[in-house]
C-alpha cells in the first residue's frame, strides 16, 4: 500500500502529529486517522509565560488541543521545549536585532524545534513518521525527499521550511498539500472540531498580543538617535534602530511636510556607526530597491546546490511573488543573486528562498544587498 501525504510509511504506522490548537494541525490529525494511521498528538510548549512578557495564549491552546484529541479519541502529550527554544532560536533572534538586522525566527524554529527536538522526541515515542499542519508538499524520488509548493498558493509555507535537511524531512509528511484553507475549515466543521473557525495565529507566537516594540524593549537597550534623509539632513528622532525595518512606513513620526514632494517617508537603511535611521520619500524610491544580494551560506533541500551557477525564481519575503534571478554559489557556500528586475526592501536578516517549477530548492539568510546602478536609478527617477 502506498503512503499518502508524502509520508515515508503506509498505514497503520504510528504518526506523531504536532498539534498547535489551530485548525490546520487538527485537520492533519483527522486526515491521518481517517487514512488508517495510529495518530498521537503532541503539543510543543516553546515559551514560558510569566508576568515579564505577557500574553502568549499557551493555556488556551493546550485546552483546544485536549478538546481536539478528545473529539478524535487520540492520545495527546504536552512537551516543554522552552529551554531549547530560548537557546536555539530566541538567542539568535536577539543577536540579529543587535546587529541592526531583521531576523525571521519562524525559519529557525522549524529547523531547530519543529523538525529538530520535536522530531527526535517523536521518534523516541516510537513514531514511524511525523506530521505538522504546514501548507507544503513532499515527493520522494530516488531516495531524495523534495519539498514542493502546495495547492493553496496563498497559504504556501515552503518559505519557512526551506532550511530543512534530508534527515529532517525523511520521516515527515504534510496532509494539507492538496487542500485550500476553506476546504480545511469545512472538513473541521464536518468532523465537529470546535476549532473549525478559530482565527489563524499571526506574528511571532512568543509575543502574543503585546506590541512588538514593547516586547523587544525588554531585551534590547534602545538608543534613540537621528532620522536623516538621503542627503544626511536631520528630520526627526528614532527610538532605537532595532525597532525599524527596511521599507517601513508606519510609526516614523515624520510628516510629509519635511520634503518638497509631500510623499510618504520610508525606512531605506540604518547607519549603525552613527546610530542614524535613513529615510526616503516615495514607495519606489531608488534607495529602497536592490538589483541583487549576497547571502550567508545556503541550505539546500537536496543536500547540494543545483549547480554553481543557475537560473531560478526567488522570494525575499513571505507571500511575495517569486521573481526571476540568476544565482552564483561561491566556494564558501554563499549565494550571489542577481534579479531580472529591481526588488524592493530586500532586508538583511530575512531569507532568500529559491524555487524552480514549484520545487523549493533551499535558501539562505540575506547578508548584504546590491544597490541599483546610477543608470537604473536615473531611469526609475525619470519614469
Q: What separation in angstroms does the CA of 330 have from each of 57, 86, 295, 333, 359?
A: 44, 32, 10, 5, 22
β partners of residue 353:
315, 363
* Helix, strand, coil fractions of the chain, as percent rounded to 5: 30, 30, 45
Cα-Cα-Cα-Cα torsion 44, 34, 22, 192, nearest 10 degrees, comes to: -130
**DSSP letter (8 states) at residue 13:** S
- Please identify which of the residues 56, 149, 205, 360 carries the catalytic annotation: 205
- Residue 38: alpha-carbon gap to chain centroid: 30
Over the range 301-337, which residues count as b (16 or more CB within 10 Å of their CB) and which as e? beeebbeeeeebbbbbbbeeebbebebbbeeeebbeb
Q: Is 205 among the residues known to form the active site?
A: yes
- Please identify which of the residues 109, 325, 335, 360 carries the catalytic annotation: 109
Q: Is 149 among the residues known to form the active site?
A: no
**DSSP letter (8 states) at residue 111:** I
As annotated, the active-site residues are 109, 205
Amino acid at each position: 500500500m502506498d503512503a499518502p501525504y508524502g509520508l515515508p510509511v503506509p498505514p497503520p504506522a504510528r504518526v506523531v502529529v504536532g498539534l498547535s490548537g489551530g485548525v490546520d494541525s487538527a485537520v492533519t490529525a483527522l486526515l491521518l486517522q481517517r487514512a488508517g494511521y495510529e495518530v498521537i498528538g503532541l503539543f510543543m510548549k516553546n515559551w514560558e509565560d510569566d508576568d515579564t512578557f505577557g500574553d502568549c495564549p499557551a493555556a488556551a491552546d493546550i485546552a483546544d488541543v485536549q478538546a481536539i484529541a478528545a473529539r478524535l479519541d487520540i492520545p495527546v502529550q504536552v512537551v516543554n521545549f522552552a529551554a531549547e527554544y530560548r537557546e536555539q532560536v530566541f538567542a539568535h533572534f536577539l543577536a540579529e536585532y543587535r546587529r541592526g538586522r531583521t531576523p525571521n525566527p519562524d525559519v529557525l524554529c522549524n529547523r531547530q524545534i519543529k523538525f529538530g527536538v520535536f522530531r527526535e522526541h517523536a521518534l523516541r515515542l516510537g513514531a514511524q513518521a511525523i506530521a505538522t499542519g504546514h501548507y507544503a508538499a513532499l515527493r520522494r524520488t530516488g531516495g531524495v525527499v523534495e519539498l514542493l509548493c502546495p495547492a493553496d498558493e496563498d497559504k504556501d509555507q515552503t518559505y519557512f521550511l526551506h532550511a530543512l535537511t534530508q534527515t529532517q524531512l525523511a520521516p515527515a509528511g504534510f496532509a494539507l498539500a492538496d487542500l485550500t484553507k476553506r476546504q480545511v475549515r469545512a472538513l473541521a466543521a464536518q468532523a465537529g472540531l470546535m476549532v473549525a473557525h478559530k482565527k489563524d495565529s499571526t506574528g511571532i507566537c512568543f509575543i502574543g498580543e503585546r506590541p512588538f516594540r514593547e516586547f523587544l524593549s525588554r531585551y534590547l537597550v534602545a538608543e534613540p538617535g537621528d532620522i536623516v534623509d538621503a542627503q544626511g539632513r536631520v528630520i526627526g528622532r528614532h527610538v532605537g534602530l532595532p525597532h525599524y525595518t527596511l521599507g517601513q512606513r508606519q510609526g516614523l513620526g515624520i510628516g510629509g511636510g519635511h520634503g518638497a514632494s509631500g510623499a510618504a517617508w520610508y525606512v531605506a537603511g540604518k547607519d549603525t556607526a552613527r546610530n542614524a535611521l535613513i529615510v526616503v520619500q516615495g514607495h519606489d524610491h531608488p534607495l529602497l530597491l536592490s538589483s541583487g544580494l549576497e547571502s550567508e551560506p545556503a541550505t539546500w533541500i537536496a543536500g547540494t546546490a543545483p549547480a554553481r551557477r543557475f537560473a531560478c525564481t526567488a522570494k525575499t519575503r513571505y507571500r511575495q511573488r517569486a521573481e526571476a534571478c540568476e544565482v552564483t554559489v561561491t566556494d564558501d557556500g554563499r549565494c550571489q543573486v542577481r534579479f531580472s528586475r529591481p526588488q524592493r526592501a530586500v532586508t538583511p536578516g530575512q531569507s532568500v528562498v529559491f524555487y524552480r517549477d514549484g520545487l523549493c530548492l533551499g535558501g539562505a539568510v540575506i547578508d548584504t544587498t546590491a544597490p541599483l546602478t546610477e543608470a537604473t536609478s536615473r531611469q526609475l527617477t525619470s519614469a
